[in-house]
Structure 1
Amino acid sequence: MTTEDSRNWRIYRGDSRPHRGIGDLPPPPPWRRFDSVEGRRHGDLERAVSYQTEQETTDKVNAALLLRRPLLVTGKAGTGKSTLAYNIAYELGLEPVLIWPVTSKSNLRNGLYDYDAIGRVHESGLRQNISLDIGRYIRLGPLGTALLPAPQPRVLLIDELDKSDIDLPNDLLNVFEEGSYLIPELERLPAEQEVVEVMTANRGIRAPISRGRVQCTAFPIVVITSNGEREFPPAFLRRCIRLSMEPPSEDQLVKIVKAHLGEDALRLGRPIIQRFIERRNSGELATDQLLNAIYLATSGGRPADEGMDELINSILRPLDIAGS
């Protein structure tokens, strides 16, 4: 893949002389493509297709599917925790993954829906019309969209839950148990507005909500990731199927590189794989660092030189070492 394009990617010269060399830049790494294929970002599709799994992972996923329970995936950065969600959706022929990236400010309401009350009041004042369609100002979040009634489940990725405030895991319990939630702003509407169409996390798609109640018919396939930075409450843990992901073995790394970049890149990149494994023994490294290093080393331009070696070393710098 990468070795077929011999164009020099070093197009920035640093001499402040304008030129149009951007057109000579080779294609991006497959996982950094942002065009869409069947509603999926090309890079996400690439990650899903190239994903390598072990028997324990397969067993835990199947158990979560059968029991309709969330899958709690823990492990170090770069072990493929979030990619598992894309692989499940791809293999089972389901709609694109709904993603909820959790931060310290995330709460249950963020995941379920957002109501732009100020925007509605402002537009009502401009139009002097207080009966504007309230559904235009309510957008379901990733969790809220995943719980919409549908013949097949949606895949929901709740990414890095351990970054949330202390209350969020417990707040999720009732939603996971009941598979439903209420939008009070719609429940309070008069009887003639029994059904309201609201926006969803799928851009451009609206969904009808009756009396403010959302009830799933197929429980979503929920993949929750955690870097292991905190403990979760026992009540939360017992409602999840837990999976601990270890860093890929050498054989797995070989398969990952081949799947993403092809046989030629694998052949040229084997010394980098060995360097990656040696450094991983003394520091934390993510698999995408290895892919980036090999793609850089095997993409067009000049043969390997001292400058290239320094670039590869910088990419393979451990994540858990101060100053790196």
Structure 2
Amino acid sequence: MPHWSVYTGVNEPHDGIDHLPSPPPWRAFDGAPVLPRPADTDDEAAVSPDRVHRASAYVAAPETVRLVNAALCLRRPLLVTGPPGTGKSSLAYAVARELRLGPVLRWNITSRTTLTDGLYHYDPLSRLYAARQSAEVRTTTPAARQRTAAFRRDRGRRSANDVENHLRLGPLGTALLPYDRPRALLVDEIDKSDLDLPNDLLNVLEEGQYEVPELVRTAGHYGDGRARVFADGTDRPVAVNRGRIRCRAFPFVVLTSNGEREFPPAFLRRCVRLKLRRPDRTQLTEIVRAHLGEPDDQARDLIAGFLKRAGSGALATDQLLNAIYLTGVAGLDAESLYELAAQLMPYLSAAADGDGI
């Protein structure tokens, strides 16, 4: 591998990220205080069977390995496009696992998603409710007030209605905390977003920093200017200095798109772009091997049938994996087996011309 490559695509975890070349001068960040990357077990979603399997079984093409390393070295987002089912989102989990970047932060995009949704969530209604509760406590008995004071001391808070108690960082906001290693952030299906979101992301991804206005306004309430807020995916609070957050290691950001829209040139030039294509026979065989073990003759026949019908562009690799797995455990004769496979892969069932697999 070239000396600038740290991601290998071999799915063996290692600490190569510590040998990542220095960033370009215009992409160097100095956020503080430095935070250690969290363990996978800090986020229950990160150790779900689905995510663990997808990360360990991902098969990366040589072009994918090159462009992942380019994005890491340049400290730029990786915009991954391609048909559904080509492994766009799985790539983030595979890279995070191999480079030991900690739990993947996932931000699912819809047409209603705004930039603030990714940065943080503030609940003013819960804060108002807490303020009312505090007012009621002041009118209760001394014993009740003592219990409330003890609860606040245990929580490490000055008041139950402090802003920090009602604010949680989002996946993008968490990824930009000053971790000593890059965090992995998956921004899934950005092509479904409102037209303004890619442009709104430009400044945050370019500067590697942002402000939380609610914390900026209340910074004077804290002696050291630091509020302690919860980050995405964990219940462990982190310190935010005067409401301003700046990254130290720029996160590994994977933006996925099914190609349903065009992006502004200003957005595109700030991304490293990777286009995934449907896998060929060799790649499909490697994918099946990684997920289900060495393919037998029956599985190879299904791979051939999948490729024969894949020209429509309406097939996903997981359809093939489902068909191979289920037909392998069903114990059916050949005719019933291929009939079941066709039903599991509807676009191979030849609705148009009557042909089977």
The secondary structure found in structure 2 opposite 1:289 is helix
The aligned counterpart of 1:67 is 74
CA distance 1:81–1:39, change in 2 (3 Å): closer
**Preserved contact between residue 86 and residue 97 of structure 1 (Cα < 8 Å):** yes
**Preserved contact between residue 104 and residue 163 of structure 1 (Cα < 8 Å):** yes
The aligned counterpart of 2:18 is none
- The C-alpha deviation readout for 1:61-100, integer Å capped at 9, x for no partner, is 1111111000001100011111111111111111021111
Matches within 5 A, 1:1-324: 39-128=46-135, 132-193=161-222, 194-263=225-294, 265-299=295-329, 301-304=330-333, 308-318=337-347
CA distance 1:126–1:239, change in 2 (3 Å): same
Letter matched to residue 344 of structure 2: I
Cα distance in structure 1, aligned partners of 2:170 and 2:160: 24
Q: Which moved more, 1:169-178 or 1:132-141?
A: 132-141
**Preserved contact between residue 83 and residue 258 of structure 2 (Cα < 8 Å):** yes
Following superposition, the deviation at residue 139 of structure 1 comes to: 0.9
CA distance 1:313–1:118, change in 2 (3 Å): same
Cα distance in structure 2, aligned partners of 1:310 and 1:180: 55
The secondary structure found in structure 1 opposite 2:206 is helix
Following superposition, the deviation at residue 283 of structure 1 comes to: 4.0
Greater than 3 Å deviation, 4+ residue runs: 36-39, 265-268, 304-311
Give the TM-score, by structure 1 length: 0.82
Computing the radius of gyration from Cα coordinates, the structure with the larger value is 2
Q: Which moved more, 1:163-172 or 1:184-193?
A: 184-193
Cα distance in structure 1, aligned partners of 2:104 and 2:171: 9
Cα distance in structure 2, aligned partners of 1:143 and 1:134: 20
The secondary structure found in structure 1 opposite 2:85 is coil
| Gaps in structure 1 of 5+ consecutive residues | 1-35
Cα distance in structure 1, aligned partners of 2:218 and 2:160: 11
- What percentage of aligned pairs have identical amino acids? 51
Cα distance in structure 1, aligned partners of 2:169 and 2:90: 24
Paired positions, count: 285
**Preserved contact between residue 83 and residue 313 of structure 2 (Cα < 8 Å):** no
What is the root-mean-square deviation in Å for CA atoms of aligned residues? 2.3
Cα distance in structure 2, aligned partners of 1:234 and 1:281: 31
The aligned counterpart of 1:9 is none
Letter matched to residue 316 of structure 2: A
- The C-alpha deviation readout for 1:229-256, integer Å capped at 9, x for no partner, is 1000000000000111111111010011
The secondary structure found in structure 1 opposite 2:177 is coil
Cα distance in structure 2, aligned partners of 1:248 and 1:45: 22
The secondary structure found in structure 2 opposite 1:318 is helix
Cα distance in structure 2, aligned partners of 1:207 and 1:310: 55
Following superposition, the deviation at residue 282 of structure 1 comes to: 3.0
Letter matched to residue 258 of structure 1: R
**Preserved contact between residue 219 and residue 243 of structure 2 (Cα < 8 Å):** no
Cα distance in structure 1, aligned partners of 2:191 and 2:351: 22
Cα distance in structure 2, aligned partners of 1:208 and 1:133: 14
Cα distance in structure 2, aligned partners of 1:308 and 1:106: 44
- The C-alpha deviation readout for 1:191-219, integer Å capped at 9, x for no partner, is 23221111111222221111110110110
Letter matched to residue 184 of structure 1: P
Letter matched to residue 326 of structure 2: L
Letter matched to residue 314 of structure 1: Q
**Preserved contact between residue 257 and residue 266 of structure 1 (Cα < 8 Å):** no
The secondary structure found in structure 1 opposite 2:106 is strand
